[in-house]
Amino acid sequence: MKRITYLVLVIGMIVCATALNGCIHHDGTQRMSPPDRGAYLNSTNIDCVDCHAAQYITIEDGSGRHALLFCTFCHIQHGYQPDCLTCHPDTHGTGIQGCEICHPDPHAPELRINDSHINDSICQPCHLPQYDAIDKGTGRHSKLKCDLCHVQHGYLPSCEDCHGLFHGDDVTDCDDCHDPHVPESIEFDYGNNSECARCHNTVIEETFAREHTKHADLSCYMCHPLHAETLMCIDCHPGHSTGMSMRDCRNCHRIGHVPTEILYSPDAAETKSGLCVNCHAKPFNTMYESESEHRYIECVECHPVHDTTIVCEVCHIMDPSHGTECVACHNSAHDTTS
């Protein structure tokens, strides 16, 4: 019995010596031992600073939510390293692992990432919609790396930095119409013409405001169902003859916003009479079937501007003996022989 008691005593002394040695620095100074469970959980951050100064300073200087916590909120036992997913299970969606790749310092996870080794593929898991949008885009942004615009994590650049005020000084909210990752895809309320006017005000002033036609009373999306796309005239209008194409319409109706304004080149080499026949078949056929020399000239030589006619004296020398009123004898300029 004495032998057992002695053995227990020796073992106890060895355990005490070992524990004491763990609390002594190699230079002989006393090391603070972890507090007991009750005292540890009630400790504040200042209690940890002696051994964990770097982490303490990071938290104290931080601006994120971690800066508001006590050390013991995450480290529920001394030496315990928590799993981020315990508190943040699906911040960036389920299945995201390796938080430390982007948040290398858990004491200040809000710090902006500025690491040249981080490439676009590392952005993908947390920013999948944006990554996919750029990857599938067709604009110039699809050729750029994420960090060209986002020079630090969380930094959102101003479009103006690269593009200036592209649509004028009064249009500053680019993201009202443009997704910055696919700016070529314009999304807005297509039934609200005022949204279109913010960027296309000049067009409106030079067309609808100048001459009010039926088109001015339509919503923009009636002709432009998608941004930068325009329906063909024949989608709404039957045309003046069968087989007409959009190009035929545009030969005379150059401005879709003011289709009543007929414009064409006064140069007979460019504007042939065949363009006029779609709307003016009767006078065209009269002239074509006549024996008058007028049948050999193009319509624009007498009608350089739509709905106007030059006077006969421009081309013909007037003989006073014949009188001054050409129409007294020549009933139609399209058939002067009748």
Question: What is the secondary structure of 95-139 as a DSSP string?
Answer: T---GGGT---TTSTTSPP--TT--HHHHTTT-HHHHHHHHH--S
Terminal CA-CA length for the chain = 151
185 contacts: CB under 8 Å, gap ≥ 6: 137, 178, 179, 227
Higher per-residue confidence, 169 vs 37:
169
Residues of the chain by 3-state class (helix, strand, coil), percent to 5 = 40, 5, 55
CA distance 146 to 180: 12
In single-letter form, the type of residue at position 89 comes to P
pLDDT at 300: 95
Supply the pLDDT for residue 30: 46
Residue 15 has pLDDT above 60, yes or no: no
Please report the pLDDT score of residue 310 as a whole number: 94
What local confidence, expressed as pLDDT, does residue 327 receive? Answer: 83
Q: Examine the pLDDT at 320 and tell me if it is beyond 70.
A: yes
**What pLDDT sits at residue 252?**
87
Measured between alpha carbons, how far is 24 from 68 in angstroms, rounded to an integer? 33
pLDDT band at 33 (very low <50, low <70, confident <90, very high): low
Residue 226 pLDDT greater than 60, yes or no: yes
How many Å apart are CA 153 and CA 35, to the nearest integer?
A: 38
Per this entry, what is the length of the chain? 338
Q: Residue 114 pLDDT more than 80?
A: no
Element (H, E) at 178: strand 178-179
Query: What is the reported pLDDT for 27?
Result: 44
**What's residue 1's pLDDT?**
54
Query: Taking a C-beta distance cutoff of 8 angstroms, is the pair 23, 30 a contact?
Result: yes
pLDDT band at 337 (very low <50, low <70, confident <90, very high): confident
Distance CA 174, CA 297 (A): 53
Per-residue confidence band for 87, with pLDDT thresholds at 50, 70 and 90: confident
The yes-or-no verdict on residue 36 having pLDDT over 70 is no
* Cβ atoms of 306 and 263 closer than 8 Å: yes
56-79: average pLDDT: 87
* pLDDT of 31 over the 50 cut: no
Residue 52's pLDDT is 92
Distance (Å, rounded) from C-alpha 334 to C-alpha 284? 8
Q: What is the dihedral of CA 286, 290, 294, 296, to 10 degrees?
A: 100
Q: What is the DSSP letter of 273?
A: G
pLDDT at 284 over 80: yes
Q: Give the mean pLDDT of the chain.
A: 81
Residue 302 has a CB neighbour count (10 Å cut-off) of 18
pLDDT score for 110 = 75
Q: Which of 210, 206, 219, 202 is nearest to 167 (CA)?
A: 202
- Which pLDDT band, with edges at 50, 70 and 90, does 278 fall under? confident
- Domain range list for the chain: 1-33, 264-338
Cβ distance 223 to 231 under 8 Å? yes
- Over residues 131-186, the pLDDT tens digits come to 889 888 888 898 888 888 888 777 889 999 989 988 878 788 888 888 999 998 88
Rounded to an integer, what distance in angstroms lies between the CA atom of residue 208 and that of residue 223? 14
Q: Looking at residue 170, what is its pLDDT?
A: 75
Tell me the average pLDDT across 238-243. 79
Residue 21 has a pLDDT of 44
Residue type, 116: S
Higher-pLDDT residue of 166 and 120 is 166
